[in-house]
């Protein structure tokens, strides 16, 4: 199974948004908050966390016995704890955008190199939710675009 089209589309989004993000002012990235009370800086930080966690899941799902018991950092609102603990609100914006870019480019690289025989390996996302590696990868662009749309919405309010 090849995820090359998905990877190429995701890479195009990352590269097109890098400049858009870099060009934003401090006020644009720090002041307005979305329905989850997140600024653009915090949304971008959350996207870094998502790319990082999905990278680790994709790796674990290719060598561990299925189903893989791997923590779901988003369960019970823990992703908000990740945002707060890492203090994305006070992160250097240029560094954060580069981290965002390269975390996603690395995940894309992993997606392009998934062992085809491992796509049905399952992850125990929580006690009643099992997700295959294939499903996880296929859903990632939806999640990415969801957060891009949140950023667009905040920018349109300004």
Q: Which residues contact 25 (CB under 8 A, 6 or more apart)?
A: none
What pLDDT is attached to residue 2?
79
What pLDDT is attached to residue 32?
79
Fold of 4-156: 1.20.120
pLDDT digits (tens, 9 = 90+) for 24-76: 999 999 997 888 899 999 999 999 999 999 999 999 999 999 999 888 877 76
Residue spans of beta strands (DSSP E) within 24-81: none
pLDDT digits (tens, 9 = 90+) for 110-133: 999 999 999 999 999 887 889 999
Percentage of the chain beyond pLDDT 70 is 99
The span from the CA of 78 to the CA of 48, in Å, is: 15
DSSP 8-state secondary structure symbol assigned to residue 111: H
Q: How far is CA 3 from CA 118, 131, 141, 157, in A?
A: 13, 17, 12, 35
Task: Give me the residue spans of the domains in the chain.
Answer: 4-156
Specify the pTM: 0.94
The span from the CA of 5 to the CA of 92, in Å, is: 33
What pLDDT is attached to residue 4?
94
pLDDT band with cut points at 50, 70 and 90 for residue 1: low
């Amino acid at each position: 199974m090849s995820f090359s089209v998905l990877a190429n589309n995701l890479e195009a989004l990352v590269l097109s948004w890098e400049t858009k993000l870099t060009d934003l002012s401090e006020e644009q990235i720090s002041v307005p908050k979305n329905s989850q009370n997140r600024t653009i800086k915090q949304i971008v930080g959350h996207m870094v966390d998502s790319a990082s966690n999905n990278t680790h899941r994709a790796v674990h799902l290719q060598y561990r016995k299925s189903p893989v018991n791997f923590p779901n950092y988003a369960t019970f609102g823990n992703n908000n704890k990740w945002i707060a603990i890492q203090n994305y609100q006070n992160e250097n914006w240029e560094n954060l955008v580069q981290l965002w870019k390269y975390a996603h480019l690395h995940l894309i690289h992993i997606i392009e190199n998934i062992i085809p025989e491992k796509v049905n390996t399952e992850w125990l996302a929580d006690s009643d939710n099992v997700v295959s590696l294939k499903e996880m990868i296929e859903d990632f662009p939806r999640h990415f675009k969801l957060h891009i749309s949140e950023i667009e919405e905040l920018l349109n309010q300004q």
